[in-house]
Amino acid sequence: MKQGETDMIMVVGGAHQGKRRFAKQLYPDIPWINGETCGEEEIFLCRGIYHFHEYIAERMREGADLSGFSERLYAKNPDIIIVTDEIGYGIVPMDLFQREYREKTGRICTELAERSEEVYRIICGIGMRIK
Amino acid sequence: MFRLITGGSGSGKSSYAERQILQFVKERMLQSPGRNLSKNFPCLYIATMKPCGEETQKKIGRHRGLRAGKGFETIECYQGIDKITLPQNSGVLLECISNLAANEFYEEDGTLRDRQETAEKILDGVRHILNQTDHLVVVTNEVSSDVWNYSYETQEYTALIGTVNQQLACMADKVTEVVYGIPVPVKG
């Protein structure tokens, strides 16, 4: 699948920047799931997910295999709206799991952003379309 | 004009902010020919970093060096900017929200005050300054873009800065993120 064949949208930025509020203003009528608490399969069926980075962390804690995850996601749910923290924009953590999680999230988000139709980055509550 | 400048640590926010406020004052002077710039339009620097230990002293020294000879008058105010009285027609540079927030949020013994009340107090302080000047530049800090592996206190502090930044950006005419010295326009 090439870029332009999905309607995937990403809203990224640091914690507490107003990402979810921004996404809900863009899409006020869709149901959202919480990446912190949703099950592994729910992501393939939902319209929108927030705390997507927590979804990744949760799967990694469970020891799930995330190779090819972004491929699976846009094959099964090409119109998903993903709200995620931007991480890796600071000090490298001491803890090995944190380092791997940070790296993995970065790679997955980069792959998803590449396939996304629109990407917004939120800072101080203000959204900039970066793609 | 109210401008908000944000960015990571060591990104060049301060020198960019200084240039902006000096530019404001210069423009103001040009609009009022025949007047003495420094007398009629003082450039005030509100410093919020509390000197405690060698590291902060060093930072403060570096910032003082940056401002030296540029005509800034420094007011040290670690807390309670909502009580500050400023001379008329000043260009004001407030630096920075992350220090002010830490000073307002943490009690002497390290416990935290109420987050919402602290946010309101800081925002009231900025409104109070805006009532006294139409030339304000506020420097804040991006602290929330990494792995969320912090103590409760640090999480609360990060949330406080996030809330304050969102409100300030809402009030500001212009918002700029400085990335390694490059100003990236966010708003206005």
Are residues A14 and B144, on separate chains, in Cβ contact within 8 Å?
A: yes
The Cα B5–Cα B21 span in angstroms is 11
Please tell me the total count of domains within chain B: 1
pLDDT for residue A1:
45
**Range A117-124 average pLDDT:** 94
The residue segments making up the domain with residue B133 are 2-187
Q: Enter the tokens of residue A38.
A: 């949703």
Distance from CA of A1 to the nearest CA of B (A): 31
Give the pTM: 0.84
Are residues A88 and B177, on separate chains, in Cβ contact within 8 Å?
A: no
Please tell me the total count of domains within chain A: 1
At residue B168, φ and ψ (nearest 5 deg) are -60, -40
Residue A106, domain CATH: 3.40.50.300
Does B146 contact chain A (CB < 8 Å)?
yes
Residue B141, domain CATH: 3.40.50.300
The Cα B142–Cα B153 span in angstroms is 17
Among candidates A17, A18, A89 on the partner chain, residue whose Cβ is nearest the Cβ of B146: A89
Residue of B nearest to A84 (CA): B145
Distance from CA of A20 to the nearest CA of B (A): 13
Residue A42 C-beta-side C-alpha neighbours within 13 Å: 15
A4 in a structural domain: no
The ipTM is 0.72
Does B142 contact chain A (CB < 8 Å)?
yes
**Range A13-17 average pLDDT:** 93
Give pLDDT < 50 ranges for chain B.
none
Q: What is the mean pLDDT of chain A?
A: 92
pLDDT for residue B39:
60
Q: Enter the tokens of residue A22.
A: 């921004």
Q: Which residue has the higher pLDDT, A124 or B147?
A: A124
Q: Which residue has the higher pLDDT, B25 or A56?
A: A56
The residue segments making up the domain with residue A74 are 9-129
Which band of pLDDT confidence, cut at 50, 70 and 90, is reported for residue A3?
Answer: very low
Q: Name B86's Cβ contacts closer than 8 Å, sequence gap at least 6.
A: B44, B92, B129, B132, B133
